[in-house]
Structure 1
Amino acid sequence: MSSSRDSRPAGTDPESCVAAQYREGDAYVVVLRGSVDLDGAEPVREALEAAAASGSECVIADLSAMTFGDSTMLNLLLRAHSTCSLRIAGPGEAVSRLFQLTSTDTVLDIYPTLKAALAGGNRPADA
C-alpha cells in the first residue's frame, strides 16, 4: 500500500478517523475525517499524543474533513491543548457549533483553514 503525503503507521485501518499525519515546516499536522466519537477515539488519541511528543513547534488538528464530533472528540482536543501548542484548522459548521456551545472556542486556537493555522500568528478573532 503506497501513499504520498499520508504517513499513517502500517496496519492503520483505512476507515480510521485519522486520515493523515505529517510534518509541515515547524508544525505536525493531524488530519481528522468523518465522525470522531467514542468509537473512533483511540486512533485520534494516539495520533494527537504522537504529535505532541514529536518536538514540533505546534500541532495542528485539521478538522476540515470531519462531519461530526462529540464530547469525546472535544475531550481529546482539550487534552492535547494542555500538553502542546495546538491549533485547530477548518472546523465545519457542526464542529464549530460544538465549540461555541461549550465555549471551547474561547480556549482553543481556531483558524478557518489549514493555511491560516500553518501561518499562525495571533489567534484569529472570528475563526
Structure 2
Amino acid sequence: MATADDDNTPFQQLNGHAPPQTGVIQYERGGAWIVVAHGAYDLDSIDPLAHALETAAAQHTRVVIDASGLTFADSTFLNLLLNTHRLTDLRLAAPPPQLLRILEITGADTLLDLRPTVEDAVT
C-alpha cells in the first residue's frame, strides 16, 4: 500500500500525466459531489468506485462522475452508472470515446445526463 512517504502514490504525476492505475478521487465543487474515476473498470476493479458512488448518492443530491481519466469501462461500469442514476441526480462528465460507444449501443446515452466537462456538469 502506498503511503505519503512513498514515491509510488496512487495518483503521482508522471510527465504531467497520471499513471494508468485504477483509482477514485472525490471532492465538492459548486454544490455537486465530484467523483473522479481513473483507470480501467471491470468486475475485478469496480468495488472502490461502486462504494464511492453509493456513499456519494446517499449524501449528495447531485453527483458528477469525471470520466476523463477512464482507460476502459465494460458493462459492469455501465450497470453502476444506471444504478447510481436511480439514486441521485447523476451527471457524467467528459466520457471518453470507448465509453460513449457503449452508452450509444445500449441506449444509455438517452437516459444518462452526459456533459462535455466537469464545469458543465456542475452548473
Q: What TM-score does the superposition give when structure 2 sets the normalisation length? A: 0.81
CA contact (8 A) 2:22 2:41 kept: no
Give me the whole-angstrom Cα distance separating, in 1, the residues matched to 2:34 and 2:102: 22
Give 2:28's match in structure 1, choosing from 23, 29, 33: 23
C-alpha separation between the residues in 1 aligned to 2:67 and 2:39?
Answer: 9
Aligned residues of 1:32 and 1:63 also touching (Cα < 8 A) = yes
Deviation at 1:41, TM superposition (A): 0.8
Q: Where do residues 1-127 of structure 1 align in structure 2 (5 Å cutoff)?
A: 1=3, 14=10, 15-18=21-24, 20-54=25-59, 56-119=60-123
TM-score (norm 1): 0.79
Question: Do 1:30 and 1:62's aligned partners in 2 also have CA atoms closer than 8 Å?
Answer: yes
Structure 1 unmatched runs, 5+: 3-12, 120-127
**Which 5+ residue runs of structure 2 have no aligned equivalent?**
11-20
Runs of 4+ in 1 over 3 A off after TM superposition: none
Matched pairs, number = 107
Quote the Cα distance in structure 2 between the aligned partners of 1:42 and 1:57. Answer: 22
Shift of 1:17: 3.0
Provide the aligned C-alpha RMSD in A.
1.5
